[in-house]
Structure 1
């Protein structure tokens, strides 16, 4: 765990330092979009950005790729950093999975949350490979990232948006006639 703090402590500190910025952004957006939408938007960005910073930080040059499901996961079981690897991968898109179905009714379904987490993870793993930043791109990371988004989404189910809840920016202002 000490090695993890040494490697990523600056990201954690930057994320903590960004909390006031996130609060100001949420306050500013709430005036335009409503509090619920603003908190979800800011939470998705600020909850995911530190993980993306870690994932896309170069570790040298080169690239490696694993497209065989569960191969990396089984190899990591004997590693002393297994909890960090599994836990970290589950948390990468957890904020997205938790808040997206609260924010937008279309995403308020487990399969859509899972597919969104998988699509976002595929984009990140593809970037790691294409940019050759010394990272290992793996289908197992995609699986864990997507499952993490799904589990977080399931935890947020009591607050999911309903299809009859139009986002505030799609509604008319008081005193204005509604559009057909």
Structure 2
């Protein structure tokens, strides 16, 4: 007698993780989210899309639809006979949802945007003292999703030096945008250092998956 294969539990696991993430974030950020909710529900950009609280609320709301998108992409890949359908689909959606909102928050204009000229801090480690714990943690997390998911999705990025270089380049673009757009923010070299370093442990955490991507990309010998 042939035993049937166990049912795939990936969709259920993803949905459960999404629900837990929504519940945890909603509990931790309940006060700022409640402050932004009326403005966002009214569809007003001013006070929603241009505030950190508003962006956090929209990201939270986007989590369940993101899980559905992962399911649709994975099913299409499986129907086409692609290997690693769930892994690749999760990496694509996680890369976007885990990076874009955080970058968006860094581009939220300050009170003096458009009036205060761009400021630059090029002395390494000078701003760490005034950055505070929240600022340091936020900078480390900015491209953590990029570091985790990019080498899973793209075999060409499946190495720590390449992830480090990619995160540093992305951070440099963000800092340049802050300066050019005069968002009343300081473009600091310490931000670039922390953004790049934060992507490294995230990449190491997903090593078991992006190593597989590398092996699948290698040509098969005779």
Tell me how far 1:110 sits from its aligned partner.
0.9
Aligned equivalent of 1:141, options 168, 181, 191 = 191
Partner of 2:215: 164
Equivalent runs, 1:3-82 vs 2, <5 Å? 5=32, 8-33=52-77, 34-59=85-110, 60-61=113-114, 62=116, 63-76=118-131, 82=132
Higher normalized contact order (CA 8 Å, seq sep 6+, divided by chain length) = 1
Instruction: Tell whether the 8 Å contact from 2:157 to 2:163 is kept in structure 1 after alignment.
Output: yes
Aligned equivalent of 1:112, options 148, 159, 162 = 162
Partner of 2:39: none
Gapped regions of structure 2 (runs ≥ 5):
1-28, 36-50, 78-84, 218-222
State TM-score, norm by structure 1. Answer: 0.81
Tell me how far 1:13 sits from its aligned partner.
1.6
Gapped regions of structure 1 (runs ≥ 5):
77-81, 167-180
- The CA RMSD over aligned residues, in Å, is 2.3
Tell me how far 1:114 sits from its aligned partner.
0.6
1:120-167 per-residue CA deviation (whole Å, 9 max, x = no partner) reads 10011111111111111111000000001112111111222332314x
Instruction: Tell whether the 8 Å contact from 2:52 to 2:108 is kept in structure 1 after alignment.
Output: no
State TM-score, norm by structure 2. Answer: 0.66
Which has the larger Rg?
Answer: 2
